[in-house]
Structure formats: structure tokens, C-alpha cells
A = this chain, B = another copy of it.
Amino acid sequence: MAEPFAGRTADEIAAIRQNALDAYAAYQAKKLSLNMARGKPCPEQLDLTMPLLNAFPQDASPISESGDDCRNYGVGDGITEAKKLFADILGAKPDEMFIGGNSSLELMFACLQIAFVKGIAGCTPWHKLDKVKFLCPVPGYDRHFALTEYFGVEMITIPTDENGPDMALVKKYAESDEAVKGIWCVPVYANPSGIVYSDETVRAFAALKPAAKDFRIFWDNAYCIHHLTDHPKKALTINEACAETGNTRIFYQFVSTSKVTFPGAGVAAFNTAKENLAELSAALGIQTIGFDKMNMLRHVRYFGDAEHMRQYMDKHRAILAPKFEIVLKTLSEKLTPLGLGKWTNPQGGYFVSFDAPKGTAKRVVQLCKEAGVTLTGAGATYPYKKDPDDSNIRIAPTYPKPEELQLAMEIFCLAVIIAATE
């Protein structure tokens, strides 16, 4: 981060502050109501997918490739054609796929819950242990942290850079402490930084030799096809890396169409080694009658194959890329000259990660709120919502209309200036 206001005199800074306060007051008078709190697709994105609703009409066959009637009970791990589709998206094997309901978060929760209640890989259920720990690369996804917090798991923050988590630290914790049971990862277009883990990072994950036999990498590949450029970087998959090391049981990989089709009415899936799949499927088979096979079939028939789903993402990109440009351009124009803040330049995903001058993030969010702009809470990107630097803010540009986003970002920049000069 550049030195804030480097080379400027106190008077100049006071003038900058006053200008910002005046502009801020003018925006406040407009009584705006803009929401950038969550990574929500905008209505225009959702409109793209309305034909999905006609993809499985009443005169279509409800029978899956394997001959199962998707209208009835059974097929607890998902239909064959959906396994193929998601396996292709992830670079996984179809027989290492489990197709779930509408929420990959629900599947992540289930994986934790099964380890907590029943235990996995022959290990003691977590609820019988004095202490269970999880590694949490930061900044990270608040809903991941809420899951581990729910189970009373102690969360250890791991710094990240443009290549991913600090793998020396991950290795140290995972390999020395049997209480460390896993790590949260968003390897492609991380939430919120947008970074893509380097091949070296992925290989370091695949090479881990954790002390705990039930250590699992929770590899949340939520944004694997959510590019913002037409020349996306090809990331090494965890599947390839773990096939090389033979460390195939170490990861659970998650994916969904929440941000491809409809959040809440999409299809979620996970991918892991067959031995893991067997124990998770057995437990899931007790907990539910199974997941919605009709919606799986609807999705498969809509997309046909993974290639079509990948192409489909171009339509989302056409809507989203200009929004990210607004964010980056405004930050750059308003804050770079002042040496204020540092932010990422994501090539995909749903967020820009912004670091305000230390100790000002909460104040920035409050100032935005008071001018009608709702942001993700400061601290949300850290376990227990505690950012030790009170610096990181997650910017979610996808939902607002471009003109609203422009306004919101101008207010945001004013808030950063005001907070930095208090």
C-alpha cells in the first residue's frame, strides 16, 4: 500500500477532507438505497436463465440415462448425466461425483456434520474431542467461517498472497497438529480476493501429509467457470495434483450452478475419492430422501454438456465485466492519486478485495451505510468477523445496476478519504 497522502501538506489534506465531506453530504441528501453486501447475481443475469424453466416440460421423459425415474425416490447420489456434466466442469471422474440439492454450502455443512457427529476415516467424531481446529486463509468467505464456528471449531487464520495461502504455514499446522482437521479454500477467483491459486500452491496442497487422518481440504470451486476475461488462466486442478501425489482422499471439492443458473434453484455437487464418497453417501442416505433429480435433469437438458455451460458463462461475463471495470476505474481515479487503499484486480469471480488504511474499515462501512450504501460488514472476511487490522472490505459489484454501482463506488471512495483523515 502506498503511503497515504504522501508528499501532501496538512493544509492540502484538510482541503481534500473538506471536499470529500461536502460531496458526501450531497450524496447523503439524495437518500440512496444501494446494496453491495452480497455476491448476488443481478436480475439481468437471472433473466438469461429463464429458458431453463422450459427445458423440462411435461411431455419430456423423466427417465435418466441409467433408466431411473427421476420423479420417484431413489438414486441418492445423483443421476448419471449430472455426474458426467459436473465431473467435466471440475476435471474429475464421474464416479467420484455426488450430486446434491440447491446449495453447495449445505453439502459443505454435511461434510463437517458427518465428521462431527459420526467421525470419518475411522477417526473419533469431533464432538468427542476436546479441541478441533481448522485453517482459514484470509481474507476469506464469511459463510465458510460460520460453518466451522457452528461446530465450535477453533479457526486459525492463514495469510494469503497472489499465489494463494501461505503453504509453509499450512504445512506446519496440518502436519504437526492432529487437532487440525481441515482448511477452507476457494482456489479459483477466491472470495473475496479473486486470486487464482498458483500451480505451486495446488501442488503443495496435494503434497500435504497431515497429522490427522481425517484432515480434509474443503476445495470450494464456486467460481471455476466464472471468468471475467476471454483468455482465462488455466489453473492446475486439485484432481490432477492429487493424482500425481497419490494423496487422493485429502480433498472434498464443491461446485454449484448457483451463479450459473439460479441461486437457490441451481444444482450443487461435490467430488471426492470413492472411499470418501462411500462414507459420506451412507450418512447422507440416512438424513434425506435424496436430492431433487428433476432439477438435475432440467439442468442437464438445458446445458447438454460442460462445453455449453462454459460458453454460457460468456453471457454472464458480458454483464459483469463492465461492472468490475466501474469499480476498478473509480478506485483508481479517486484513490490512487491520494495513495489510499489497495485492491485486487480479479480476472473472475464475484468480488474485489479492498484494503483500507489500517483501522478504518469499520468506519468506511459505517459511512457508506449512512449514505445509503450497504456493504459486506467490515471484518466479515475474517474468522469470528475479527479483522486484526480493521482494513479489509469485500466489494460485491454484481447486483447493482451500472449507474447505481458508479454512485455507490463514488460514495465508497469518499468514505475511504473521510475515514482516513479522521
Chain A residues in the interface with B (C-beta under 8 A): 38, 40-41, 43, 46, 49-54, 56-60, 62, 69-74, 101-103, 105-106, 109, 113, 116-118, 127, 143, 146-147, 150-151, 258, 262-265, 283, 286-295
Look across to chain B and name the residue whose beta carbon is closest to the beta carbon of A261: B71
Most chain-B Cβ atoms within 10 A of its Cβ — which of A74, A286, A288? Answer: A288
User: With A43-B69, A72-B40, A118-B150 as given contacts, are A292 and B102 in contact (CB-CB < 8 Å)?
Assistant: yes
Q: Among the listed B74, B264, B292, which residue makes an inter-chain contact with A265, where contact means beta carbons less than 8 Å apart?
A: B292
Q: Among the listed B53, B70, B258, B291, which residue makes an inter-chain contact with A58, where contact means beta carbons less than 8 Å apart?
A: B53
Look across to chain B and name the residue whose beta carbon is closest to the beta carbon of A43: B69
B-chain residues with CB within 8 Å of residue A72 when the two chains form the complex: 40-41, 43, 46, 262-264
7 other contacts beyond A150-B283, A264-B292, A295-B295, with CB at 8 A cut-off? Answer: A52-B58, A53-B56, A101-B292, A102-B291, A109-B288, A117-B127, A118-B150
5 A-B pairs with least C-beta separation: A265-B294, A106-B288, A50-B58, A127-B127, A46-B71
Q: How far is the CA of A232 from the CA of B150 in the complex (A)?
A: 45
Chain A binding surface, main DSSP class: loop
B-chain residues with CB within 8 Å of residue A50 when the two chains form the complex: 58-59, 62
User: With A40-B73, A72-B41 as given contacts, are A103 and B262 in contact (CB-CB < 8 Å)?
Assistant: no
User: With A54-B58, A113-B113, A288-B109 as given contacts, are A38 and B73 in contact (CB-CB < 8 Å)?
Assistant: yes
User: With A109-B287, A286-B147, A287-B147 as given contacts, are A62 and B46 in contact (CB-CB < 8 Å)?
Assistant: yes
How far in angstroms is the closest Cβ of chain B from A246? Answer: 32
How far in angstroms is the closest Cβ of chain B from A34? Answer: 16
Q: How far is the CA of A58 from the CA of B127 in the complex (A)?
A: 46
B-chain residues with CB within 8 Å of residue A143 when the two chains form the complex: 286
User: With A72-B40, A73-B38 as given contacts, are A292 and B295 in contact (CB-CB < 8 Å)?
Assistant: yes
B-chain residues with CB within 8 Å of residue A60 when the two chains form the complex: 53
How far in angstroms is the closest Cβ of chain B from A125? Answer: 9
Q: How far is the CA of A265 from the CA of B117 in the complex (A)?
A: 28
Look across to chain B and name the residue whose beta carbon is closest to the beta carbon of A106: B288
Contact A264 B117 (CB under 8 A): no
How far in angstroms is the closest Cβ of chain B from A63? Answer: 10
Q: How far is the CA of A293 from the CA of B103 in the complex (A)?
A: 12
B-chain residues with CB within 8 Å of residue A62 when the two chains form the complex: 46, 50
B-chain residues with CB within 8 Å of residue A103 when the two chains form the complex: 288-290
Q: How far is the CA of A418 from the CA of B297 in the complex (A)?
A: 46
Look across to chain B and name the residue whose beta carbon is closest to the beta carbon of A128: B127
Q: How far is the CA of A289 from the CA of B117 in the complex (A)?
A: 22
Contact A264 B106 (CB under 8 A): no
Contact B71 A294 (CB under 8 A): no
Contact B291 A264 (CB under 8 A): yes
B-chain residues with CB within 8 Å of residue A69 when the two chains form the complex: 43, 46
How far in angstroms is the closest Cβ of chain B from A77? Answer: 13
B-chain residues with CB within 8 Å of residue A53 when the two chains form the complex: 56-58, 60, 294
Contact A295 B265 (CB under 8 A): yes
Q: How far is the CA of A53 from the CA of B150 in the complex (A)?
A: 37
Q: Among the listed B105, B287, B291, which residue makes an inter-chain contact with A288, where contact means beta carbons less than 8 Å apart?
A: B105
Q: List 23 A-B contacts (CB under 8 A).
A: A40-B72, A41-B72, A43-B69, A46-B62, A52-B58, A71-B263, A71-B265, A72-B263, A72-B264, A73-B258, A102-B292, A103-B288, A105-B287, A109-B288, A116-B117, A117-B117, A117-B150, A117-B151, A118-B150, A150-B283, A262-B294, A265-B293, A265-B294
Look across to chain B and name the residue whose beta carbon is closest to the beta carbon of A256: B289
Look across to chain B and name the residue whose beta carbon is closest to the beta carbon of A293: B264
How far in angstroms is the closest Cβ of chain B from A66? Answer: 15
Look across to chain B and name the residue whose beta carbon is closest to the beta carbon of A105: B289
Q: How far is the CA of A46 from the CA of B68 in the complex (A)?
A: 13
Q: How far is the CA of A51 from the CA of B73 in the complex (A)?
A: 19
Contact B70 A265 (CB under 8 A): yes
Q: How far is the CA of A38 from the CA of B72 in the complex (A)?
A: 11
Contact B54 A150 (CB under 8 A): no
B-chain residues with CB within 8 Å of residue A101 when the two chains form the complex: 101-102, 292
